[in-house]
Structure 1
Amino acid sequence: MVRRTDTRQRMLDSAAELFHQQGYHATGLNQLVAAVGAPKGSLYFHFPGGKEQLAAEAIRQSAERLCDMLRAIVASSPDIITGVENVVEALATSLEESDFQRGCPLATVALDASGDSEAIRQACADGYTSWHTLIAEALNRPNTLDTGKADQLATVVLAAVEGGLLLAKTLHDTAPLRAIAPHLRTTLERELS
């Protein structure tokens, strides 16, 4: 079994950032190892499956980190509706602070490479599923919705936020992302009452 080292983690962190900003195909192996300051052979030592394995693991890490952030925002909010609004605002602020370079950590790679690689597609799918599950569980507290309804609402929230992020990143304007918050509030208030 390959030993986990600081170099391995630095590769994952750098890859996550590069894939997040540039996508899979635009990020080369030389760029990945240069970002860490490691020899090319170390990439294959830590990731015998090469760039594809590195990408899948970096995507999983990015998805987990965002899920942790979402969970913390929702948990610190007085209710799920405010939590959704707070998530939208946090994502908009992050996008602005990155000068519109960092939208969803999965979207760029999902659009770019999930059709080419089952491992990457599955890592993206698992990430989206974890976020969807978090939203559905938060919507269903304290067990007032049936599972199907919570699932459908979570899909609406996730799709709206993901679409808003994509538009905001593309237009270099957070207005499309921020515009969804009041509409989600209206929808959730109606559905959760």
Structure 2
Amino acid sequence: MSKGEETREKMIQTATRLFQAQGYAATGIKQILSESGTPRGSMYFHFPAGKEELAAEVVARHGEDFAQTLEDVMNASPDAVTSARQIVDLLARECEATACQTGCPVGAIAFEMANTSERLRKATREVFERWSGILARRLSADGISPDDARQRAHAAICAIEGALVLTRAYGDAGILYDLRERLPALLSD
């Protein structure tokens, strides 16, 4: 990896962490540069459109990383319900590891920016559609009709994202564990 690629990667990783912890609006360019140890000119060299472009990259990267996790878990599990429960367990453990101080950067950016940035609205929607599509395909493979699978997958993503918000509000990963126990009713016949 070249020095320029390393600099860009540091900014993306730092912005991801900050957006997870404090949201888009509360994260400034100066803080991203300071915490990533990169000079000011690097931001506009790597992200000419500034913070919004960086946020779109964070959304795309986190979306892809989590999609890969979903695919891996779905492929290794006997059914969609087991897979979804394992994903929620993973998220709950991550929540516990951070004292419930971080959440999904895609959800945070969607919540804050979807009404003011078409670029970020589109980026977050694409990620949520991808995640829902992965779960819907697995539900279909388990015998659920495609339309029903799509609706159930959207409902599950909504429930998971909502649970992540509540874990932050309550400071309690138990909300995710509660969801894990309710997923079979949402996903199976």
TM-score range, shorter chain: over 0.9
Greater Cα shift, 65-74 or 122-131: 65-74
Specify the alignment match of 2:155 in structure 1. 156
Tell me how far 1:4 sits from its aligned partner: 6.1
TM-score by length of 2: 0.92
Structure 1 letter corresponding to 2:149: A
What displacement does 1:130 show? 0.9
Q: CA RMSD in A?
A: 1.6
- Most deviating of 85-94 and 171-180: 171-180
TM-score (norm 1): 0.91
Q: Does structure 2 retain, via aligned residues, the 8 Å contact 1:24–1:112?
A: yes
1:51 match: 51
Structure 2 residues not aligned, in runs of 5+: none
Q: Which residue of 1 aligns with 2:14?
A: 14
Identity of aligned residues (%): 34
Q: Which runs of 5+ in 1 are unaligned?
A: none
Distance 1:165 1:32 in 2: 24
- Code of the residue aligned with 2:68 in structure 1: it is D
Does structure 1 conserve the Cα–Cα contact (< 8 Å) formed by 2:21 and 2:102?
yes
SS of the residue aligned with 1:94? Answer: helix
Decide which moves more: 44-53 or 104-113: 104-113
In structure 2, distance between residues paired with 1:105 and 1:25: 12
8 Å Cα contact 1:74/1:87 also seen in 2: no
- Work out the CA distance in 1 between the residues paired with 2:19 and 2:118: 17
Question: Paired residue for 1:78?
Answer: 78
The alpha-carbon deviation at position 155 of structure 1 amounts to 1.3
| Contact in 2 for aligned 1:63/1:105 (Cα 8 Å) | no
Structure 1 counterpart of 2:28: 28
